[in-house]
Amino acid sequence: MARPRPAGGQGSLGRIGLFVAVSVLAGVLAAGLALPFAGSLGVAARSAVSDFEALPSVLKTPPLPQQSQILASDGSVLATFFSENRVVVPLSQVSPAMRQATVAIEDSRFYEHRGFDLRGTLRALATNTSSGGVQQGGSTLTQQYVKNLLLTEASSDEDRAAARARTVARKLQEVRYAIGLEKRYSKDQILEGYLNVSYFGAGAYGVEAAARRYFSTSAADLDVVRSATLAGILQQPGAFDPLRNPALSQQRRDVVLRRMAEVGFIAPAEAD
């Protein structure tokens, strides 16, 4: 998730250093798993793989908090209450356009990797280094799903801070959980979970609540423009809220539309 650049250079260097560390460690892991070990490099690779595999890999995916309703005897709604305004829906009830917009802007290689995408991390590193700030995140959609699950399950400020911590240790644990989820669930199940757990701003948790909140429609009926708007919110729900910041929201929506065209989900003419 993009954040404003700090006044000094240390913040940017720290974030870039995180990408470097994760990329190097991932490279060591890949080398250790795919190539014969040789000399001290082989020992280091074996140690890195061993330490990584010792991390917890099973992340619980409990039912998400949803709306509750009190009904009258005739079935009419008397009251709706919730701790998180969410209506969980299956992926079949999310429009193809919304699924495509989310994958395009959050993780265009989602259906190709296995939870961690070294290529995407290195691309983010190169982009952020050249821009002098953080323009792209290195997390896969599965990693973001892990982070959102941890935030949803957090019972204290300490737990929430730990889920957001920008440390190598937290990042490695996130990757470990993501790889574990990819072994247990299909890609569509992970995408479904991500769309239901994510916060879309304005008190709306999950894509169904967001569709109702912003457009008075259902997730199943979201067209390309509305889907691009909602997918764009995910990076910064406050900044890209279309009700509070319509100009910024439109700029972000256009970024999503261009990305959908770049990955082939829509034609360039349609994006225009």
13-44: pLDDT as tens digits: 445 445 545 554 555 444 444 444 445 545 44
pLDDT at position 137 is 55
What are 79-87's contacts with CB under 8 Å, separation 24+?
Answer: 84/152, 84/205, 85/203, 85/204, 85/205, 85/209, 85/213, 86/196, 86/205, 86/206, 86/208, 86/209, 87/206, 87/208, 87/209, 87/212
| Tens digit of each residue's pLDDT (9 = 90 or more) over 92-138 | 999 999 999 999 999 999 999 999 888 776 766 665 556 554 445 56
| Tens digit of each residue's pLDDT (9 = 90 or more) over 205-229 | 999 999 999 999 999 999 999 999 9
pTM of the model: 0.76
| Tens digit of each residue's pLDDT (9 = 90 or more) over 114-125 | 998 887 767 666
pLDDT at position 96 is 98
CATH topology of domain 10-271: Penicillin binding protein transpeptidase fold (1.10.3810)
**Where residue 6 falls among pLDDT bands split at 50, 70, 90?**
very low
